[in-house]
Amino acid sequence: MGEKGMYRTWQMAVLLAFSLLMTGCSPRSLEDFKEEGEGITRSLIQELQKIRSRDQLVASTGRLQRLFDELVLVAIAAREFHHTHQELEMIELTLTDHELSDRLRVELNRIYRFEGGRQIIEKCQEAALNRLDACEKRLCK
């Protein structure tokens, strides 16, 4: 696994952990973000589990890109909410959160072993990660 690939895998794991962390702060409003993010992550894992070949991966790129986009939109919404409600404290990730993140990482690593799999997944993630980076830069100003 190359340095760039490790970085992308790490970035997706951090994205999931960040969205779960950011969305678990308050049971009344941020809990909805957390549940939505978990649901999208489960859908993403299910979609990845269906893929058994490079051809199936190529055929699934539209659905995967949509799921990565949805996950990032939830993470951005949670991040923006937390930015405007800084009095809310961060919580620690639960065992279930870690297990969900691990399941996603395992599936991504399995897909990366297909010929060109890493590049295809990175292309699916690219727009979503750029959107997340732009949000972080905007909020850090």
Cα torsion for 51, 41, 43, 122, to the nearest 10°? -40
- Position 85 scores a pLDDT of 75
- Does position 120 have pLDDT exceeding 80, yes or no? yes
* Domains of the chain by residue range: 3-85+92-139
- Does position 30 have pLDDT exceeding 80, yes or no? no
Percent of the chain predicted with pLDDT > 70: 76
- Position 33 scores a pLDDT of 83
- Position 93 scores a pLDDT of 76
What's the pLDDT tens digit per position in 35-86? 889 999 999 999 999 999 999 999 999 999 999 999 999 989 888 887 887 7
- Does position 117 have pLDDT exceeding 70, yes or no? yes
Q: What is the 3-state secondary structure (H, E, C) of the chain?
A: CCHHHHHHHHHHHHHHHHHHHHHCCCCCCHHHHHHHHHHHHHHHHHHHHHCCCHHHHHHHHHHHHHHHHHHHHHHHHHHHHHHHCCCCCCCCCCHHHHHHHHHHHHHHHHHHCCCCHHHHHHHHHHHHHHHHHHHHHHHCC
The residue among 110 and 134 whose pLDDT is bigger is 110
Query: Would you say 64 and 124 are in contact if contact means Cβ atoms under 8 Å apart?
Result: yes
Percent of the chain predicted with pLDDT > 90: 52
Closest CA to 72 of 7, 127, 141, 139: 127
Q: Going by C-beta distance under 8 Å and a sequence separation of 6 or more, which residues neighbour residue 6? A: none
- Does position 126 have pLDDT exceeding 70, yes or no? yes
The model's pTM: 0.78
The tokens of 22 are what? 């950011």
